[in-house]
Chain A
């Protein structure tokens, strides 16, 4: 397994490099947002002297590379800075919403994987069957509907008309979403319908690619029972492409969660991000952006490592 460890270490190094690049882009983008943070903090009635004083306090007059360096330096020491709008350390502001979003994303990801894998396995293994075509068609349909429309329909029908589930996903103060899991149902379903359709379609294609290979027909012709054909002759070959598809779901979910959290008033990172962008609270925006980027990068690196471990020809190469 030492080649696996070497590979994972190499991937980790490239992940860190990627994250550094992302941090530069993120910092630049936030820096380029229109408006002067000091002016915004103090409101339109502040005197020019007061604005100038705050600018100096926040070191806003230093050149951007210097400010980036200072931010990165404190970041490496575990200090994310303080909110320029509400005060208080960014860690505290971000922690609770990050946890809430993590719960939502893990639940949605789990639902998507379950739905996509079952649908893909059912339809990809026997390509061209009626079930396979039906899954493909439904997936295409679901894929063409944006998640906020799905969410809107769910709120209107299940939440308000039928009243089965809460239409708003408020988390009790000081609690976690797991204290009232029922509030998660509609956001998770909204994300999972579109994501599941997307995942099922791509995983189905990956499985069908493997199922079409001559060694699968050969296995059936040599009398291998169908369960074993699927588990030993098809599934292992489909793992690397499937891991890639699942990794692609992560940026989709991270982006989708921003919209969905807003719609359901769910107190996650997405809601926080939207609030703080309008407040131009740079340290918080940057922290949230880095967290989201880390999740996406981590997902792709994990998929690469899984693909590496699951393919004998790469794992055993010199």
Chain B
């Protein structure tokens, strides 16, 4: 149905983006293109629409859809094909919705003769299809609902070819399950061919018939999904598979028996909130409620929870960046002032943050070496040769080539930016490193490298880590203990091994069941049964859809039985 022949796309200064890529996709088949960031996956997906982003050019090869070469077609004809035959769901689907159009226009705009009605389309993605819902604008929907409207919009033209670009990386787990189930149904009922671009191997493993592994713009391995994901032959493909976090296959980190007699960091009955809205609509969101935990020297404590569970607010409050409503933070048993401005230099040095988006936490106009030196001058207050020596030392600790210190943030890869942010935090000689979702923007291989780096630094320096993540498999493999947050409450805190075997709180069980696992997915496919987690998540989706209200309906819907019990 669609074929790619020797596709060669070049970027700035003729740098190759894609080289010699070939693929064929037949009706009712699903092909997954997997690979790390920068492998050229998105460029490949867009080329199947006959589109090449500005700054890139076609250097050779062609894309044929039902015998017609896309790059030879005039723009008008291409638009017609995209309108009638192809569905494309971009990365970050919610941002593809035009804010001034109502749901009915967004979905209706792409309907063609013979398409299901807008109501049916919305219901097929587990959204209410009624008139009131169709009259809404995107800002009146929760982010999960926006994502599902984007999916309904994409498939509204009853397509023969479906192109999904990283459909699972930015969507919530519910939408993820809705989408994967939809791909299977469209394939079985309408013979839709799907190209799934992803670095999420468990999702690819669930729906793909075939897998192509892309690295540096070249295909390094291709074959049946089960074979490639189970026993890849190419070294890069092997690294990709083994780096995929897997709650079922992974070993929990064994505790070095950290002594809790004198914890480095103590957090006691911490409450924090912020107000939203104005005037009569003003209300307070309680982001942290009565949170207590301590952290021993050399220990890693993971705080996990869904978005909106209060993870980042707790980190900011501990750092003194957000005013607590109640409770206290202790360093080495001594209470520290709530606001960072009131803390003295050693107290500030002791707690250091590695932020979620390291690239943006450096001044874009200055080199990252400058950024790290700024910390060195301010906190250990070193100058001249001593400062330069410290810079070299922390760069080595973070395994970042000192030659890169002269570069500006955007001249570094995502992994290098993250290492630079770690080096900057280490420059203050902290006792606790607070890492806020530091791996979520990275592909799995780089993610694994960063985790290995943090483990090594911890072994060498005995530093403690507060590791905030939504990825349970990662927390399980890296942390000594795991704390689960739900609506601002710490509902469970337990050693990793024990947590995975015997979760206590209901929220913990939900997180465990929906944690991605390549080995579990592949095993389920061999047996021909969908895994239990899928079934659960889908019924959860319909519950969410039924509640349907604006805002984060799913997250703030009534009292949580778990938090009631743990209080």
Which residues B28-68 have CB closer than 8 A to chain A? Answer: 46, 49, 51, 54
A316 at interface by CB-CB < 8 Å: yes
* CB–CB A312/B81 < 8 A: no
* Chain B minimum-CB-distance residue to A312: B137
Among B142-193, those with CB < 8 Å from A are 153-154, 157
CA–CA, A128 to B88, complex, Å? 26
With A221-B51, A221-B82, A225-B79 as contacts: A232 and B97 at CB distance below 8 Å: no
A221 to B96, CA, bound (A): 10
Partner of A232, one of B51, B95, B105, B139: B105
> B110 contacts A222, CB within 8 Å?
yes
Q: Interface 1/0s, chain A 258-302, versus B by CB < 8 A?
A: 000000000000000000000000000000000000000000000
Asked if residues B83 and A221 are in contact (CB atoms below 8 Å), the reply is no
Taking CB atoms, residues of chain B closer than 8 Å to A225 are 79, 83
Whether, in the assembled complex, A79 has its beta carbon less than 8 Å from a beta carbon of chain B, the answer is no
The verdict on A222 contacting B82 (CB below 8 Å), with A215-B99, A318-B281 known, is yes
**Residue from A223, A237, A310, A318 within 8 A of B98 (CB atoms):** A237
Is A224's CB under 8 angstroms from B83's CB? yes
* Contacting pair A215 B82 (CB below 8 A): no
CB within 8 Å for A316 and B96 given contacts A221-B88, A222-B82, A222-B153 = no
Complex CA distance for A310 and B102, rounded to whole angstroms? 13
Are the CB atoms of B96 and A215 closer together than 8 Å? yes
The answer to whether B101 touches A223 (Cβ under 8 A) is no
A219 to B105 CA separation, bound complex (whole angstroms)? 12
- Which residues of A sit under 8 angstroms from B99, Cβ to Cβ? 215, 237, 312-313
Q: Does A218 contact B (CB under 8 A)?
A: yes
B86 within 8 A of A: yes
User: Nearest Cβ distance between residue A207 and chain B, in whole angstroms?
Assistant: 14
Segment 203-227 of A: residues with Cβ below 8 Å from B: 213-226
Assess whether B563 is interfacial by the CB under 8 Å rule: no
Per-residue interface assignment for chain B, residues 68 to 92, with 1 indicating a CB less than 8 Å from any chain A CB and 0 otherwise: 0000000100111111101110101
Residues of A within 8 A of B86 (CB): 223
Cα distance A225–B78 in the bound complex, in angstroms:
10
Alpha-carbon gap, A311 to B86, bound state (A): 31
Contact of A223 among B81, B92, B95, B96 (CB under 8 A): B81
Q: How far is the CB of B469 from chain A (nearest CB, A)?
A: 26
Q: In the docked arrangement, what's the CA distance between A148 and B135, Å?
A: 52
Q: Are A226 and B100 in contact (CB under 8 A)?
A: no
Query: Which A residues are CB-close (under 8 A) to B84?
Result: 223
Q: Which of A218, A232, A311, A316 contacts B90 (CB 8 A)?
A: A218
Smallest CB separation, B93 vs chain A (Å): 9
Q: Is the CB of B100 within 8 A of A214?
A: no
- Give complex CA distance A36, B139 in Å: 62
Given contacts A214-B90, A221-B82, A311 and B100 within 8 Å (CB-CB): yes
Cβ-defined contact, A223 with B140, below 8 A: no
Minimum C-beta distance from B491 to chain A (A)? 32
Q: How far is the CA of A278 from the CA of B383 in the complex (A)?
A: 67
Is B411 an interface position by the 8 A CB rule?
no
A316 pairs with B109, CB closer than 8 A: no
The answer to the question of A201 belonging to the interface, with a C-beta cut-off of 8 Å to chain B, is no
Chain B window 100-118, contacts with chain A (Cβ cutoff 8 Å), 1 for yes, 0 for no: 1110010001100000000
Q: Which residue of B lies closest to A238 (CB)?
A: B100
B75, B79, B139, B281: the one contacting A224 at CB < 8 Å is: B79
Establish whether residues B82 and A236, one from each chain, have CB atoms under 8 Å apart when the complex forms: no
Contact B46 A221 (CB under 8 A): yes
Q: Considering the complex, give the chain A residue whose CB is closest to the CB of B82.
A: A223
Min CB gap A261→B, angstroms: 40
Chain B residues positioned under 8 Å from A213 (CB to CB): 95
Residue of chain B at shortest CB distance from A234: B98
Given A214-B90, A218-B96, A221-B46: A316 and B137 interface contact (C-beta under 8 Å): yes
Among residues of B, the one whose C-beta sits closest to the C-beta of A218 is: B96
Q: Are B110 and A232 in contact (CB under 8 A)?
A: no
B3 CB, nearest partner CB in chain A, Å: 20
Cβ < 8 Å to B, chain A residues 122-159: 128
Complexed CA–CA distance, A213 and B96 (Å)? 9
A214 touches B96 (CB 8 A): yes
Q: Which A residues touch B95, using CB under 8 A? A: 213-215, 218
- Distance A131 CA – B429 CA, assembled complex (angstroms): 55
**Are A312 and B100 within 8 A (Cβ)?**
yes
Beta-carbon nearest neighbor of B109 in chain A: A224
Cβ 8 A contact of B100, one of A128, A221, A223, A237: A237
Distance A222 CA – B49 CA, assembled complex (angstroms): 9
B306 to chain A, nearest CB (A): 25
Task: Name the residue of chain A whose CB is nearest to the CB of B154.
Answer: A222
Complex-state Cα separation, A225 to B96, whole angstroms: 16
B122, chain A: closest CB distance, angstroms: 17
Residues of B204-226 contacting chain A, CB below 8 A: none
Residues of chain A within 8 A (CB-CB) of B88 are 218, 221-222
CA distance A217 to B97 in the complex (A): 10
Within 8 Å CB of A224, what residues of B? 79, 83, 109-110
Which residues from B are CB-within-8-Å of A221? 46, 49, 51, 82, 88, 90
Contact (A226, B79) CB under 8 Å given A221-B46, A221-B49, A221-B51? yes
Contact indicator per residue, chain A 218-257, by CB within 8 Å of chain B (1) or not (0): 1111111110100011001100000000000000000000
Set of chain B residues within 8 Å of A223, measured between Cβ atoms: 78-84, 86, 110, 157
By a CB distance below 8 angstroms, the chain B residues around A226 are 75, 79
Q: Is the CB of A316 within 8 A of B98?
A: no
Chain A residue numbers with a CB within 8 Å of B96 are 214-215, 218-219
User: Chain A residues near B97 (CB, 8 Å)?
Assistant: 215
- In the complex, the answer to whether B139 meets A312 with C-beta atoms within 8 Å is yes
A312 to B137, CA, bound (A): 7
Q: Which of A302-318 contact B (CB under 8 A)?
A: 310-313, 316, 318
- With A218-B90, A224-B83: A233-B139 Cβ-Cβ less than 8 Å: no
A221 → B minimal CB distance (Å): 5
Once the chains are docked, how many angstroms separate the CA of A237 from the CA of B81? 27
Closest chain-B Cβ to A288's Cβ sits at a distance in Å of 40
Inter-chain CA distance A215–B138, complex, in Å, is 12
Residues of A contacting B154 in the complex (Cβ-Cβ under 8 angstroms): 222
Contact call B98/A232, Cβ cutoff below 8 A: yes
Task: Report Cα–Cα, A220/B86, bound state, in Å.
Answer: 12
Residues facing B in A176-222 (CB within 8 A) are 213-222
Q: How far is the CA of A215 from the CA of B97 in the complex (A)?
A: 5
| Cβ–Cβ < 8 Å partners of A219 in chain B | 96, 98
A205–chain B nearest beta-carbon distance, Å = 19
Q: Across the two chains, which residue of chain B brings its CB closest to A310?
A: B100
Pick from B78, B81, B140, B153: contact of A316, CB below 8 A. Answer: B140
Query: Quick one: closest B residue to A228, CB to CB?
Result: B109
Contacts of A233 in B (CB 8 A): 98, 101
Tell me which residues across on chain B come within 8 A of A216, comparing CB atoms: 98
Residues of the B chain whose Cβ atoms lie less than 8 Å from the Cβ of A232: 98, 101, 105, 109
Contacts of B83 in A (CB 8 A): 222-225
Which chain B positions have C-beta within 8 A of A318? 281
Q: A156 vs B96: C-alpha distance in the bound complex, in angstroms? A: 54
**Cβ-closest chain B residue relative to A128:** B54
A205 to B87, CA, bound (A): 31
Q: Which residues of B contact A218 (CB under 8 A)?
A: 88, 90, 95-96
Give the residue among B75, B79, B84, B157 with the most A Cβ atoms within 10 A. Answer: B79
- Contacts A215-B97, A215-B99, A222-B87 given; 8 further ones with Cβ under 8 A? A213-B95, A218-B90, A218-B96, A219-B98, A223-B79, A223-B157, A313-B99, A313-B137
21 A-B pairs in the complex with CB atoms less than 8 angstroms apart: A213-B95, A214-B92, A214-B95, A214-B96, A215-B97, A216-B98, A218-B90, A218-B95, A218-B96, A220-B79, A221-B46, A221-B90, A222-B88, A223-B79, A223-B81, A223-B84, A223-B110, A223-B157, A225-B83, A232-B98, A312-B137
**Smallest CB-CB A-B distances: 3 pairs:** A223-B83, A223-B82, A218-B96
